[in-house]
Structure 1
């Protein structure tokens, strides 16, 4: 059975330092993983990017391709954005696609693909009124939103992957 393609997107929050755990969990479920990172997340993981490309058998992407460049990833069957920061969630909900990660997540909504996110937002920012509006807008668009800080026992990679099932 051929595996399905998962766009595994991540922004710069502490769990990104352990993104290989999420990748392994996705691969264990049969996903072919394509890893996309925000520029800050990529800078945090800088010397490990080549190992992630080897682990996923796909290039790690950080920026949009230039016009005319071929896409280096197969089309996605589903998208997971984890961890998703306050900034990423708000940009995504507002349709501000200044990063590849937010752009791919926004396109996934328009494509009607299974789509989940696990937020990683500190308590003060989670109480900001725009965050609640953004989470509500994403849920209204069909995104499964797992609020990562409210889950005990480490970052909930599995809950994000479970959210792809609907």
Structure 2
């Protein structure tokens, strides 16, 4: 039995590792469906076809039009990484103008196990809404990977995020659902 992971990403520097992350998730037994915020899709536009070939599913970044088929299988878990300041706050507040955030918001209501690994800077986390948003997501059952054992904020303006904890994100996804049985 294959587990399906919805791997969603925002426009933050760790996004450029997404092909490797997909391969790692697949090696752990996940069927990966990749969803990106519109800006994230722009960032990796040249590689979208390759990412679709790697996952075996279309890469999505927008809502379907009425009557369009949903070509993805139902998820067993959802992992939003990297999740920017905007994404974390929009998800917690239920602002679903972006497809990935809309699906993540519905996942809470549908009881789909979810985890979030933020990618934010030290200036953003001083905004009072950020801590409230993390608490809201946590209280809604989302596994929040922030602080020790998750993401530790970096200084503003960094184009590279050293040591983004992709391994911790994939470990969290693995623990969200029962392991595969032989």
TM-score range for the pair, normalised by the shorter chain length:
over 0.9
Which 4+ stretches in 1 moved above 3 angstroms?
none
Match of 1:156 in 2: 165
The CA distance in 2 between the partners of 1:160 and 1:26, in whole Å, is 10
Unaligned runs of 5+ in 2: 154-160, 177-182
Please report the TM-score for the alignment, with normalisation by the length of structure 2: 0.87
Q: Which has the larger radius of gyration?
A: 2
Q: CA deviation at 1:161?
A: 2.1
The aligned counterpart of 1:7 is 6
The worse-fitting range, judged by mean Cα deviation, of 58-67 and 108-117 is: 108-117
Cα distance, 1:13 vs structure 2: 0.5
Report the Cα offset of residue 149 of structure 1.
3.7
Mapped to 1, the partners of 2:117 and 2:82 lie a distance apart of: 5
Which one has the bigger helix percentage? 1
Q: Is the 8 A contact 1:8 1:35 kept in 2?
A: yes
TM-score by length of 1: 0.95
Written as runs of structure 1 = structure 2, the 5 A alignment for 1:1-150 is 2-147=1-146, 148-150=150-152
In the TM superposition, residue 162 of structure 1 has moved relative to its aligned partner by 2.0
Contact 1:122 1:149 in 2 (8 A): no
On the 8 A contact 1:5/1:74 being kept in 2, the answer is: yes
Q: Give 3-state SS (helix, strand or coil) of 2:57's partner.
A: coil
* CA drift at 1:68: 1.4
> How many residues in Structure 1 have an aligned counterpart in Structure 2?
165
Secondary structure of 2:145's counterpart equals: strand
CA RMSD of aligned residues (A): 1.5
Give the secondary-structure state (helix, strand or coil) at the position aligned to 1:79: strand
Say which is worse superposed, 89-98 or 16-25, in terms of deviation: 16-25
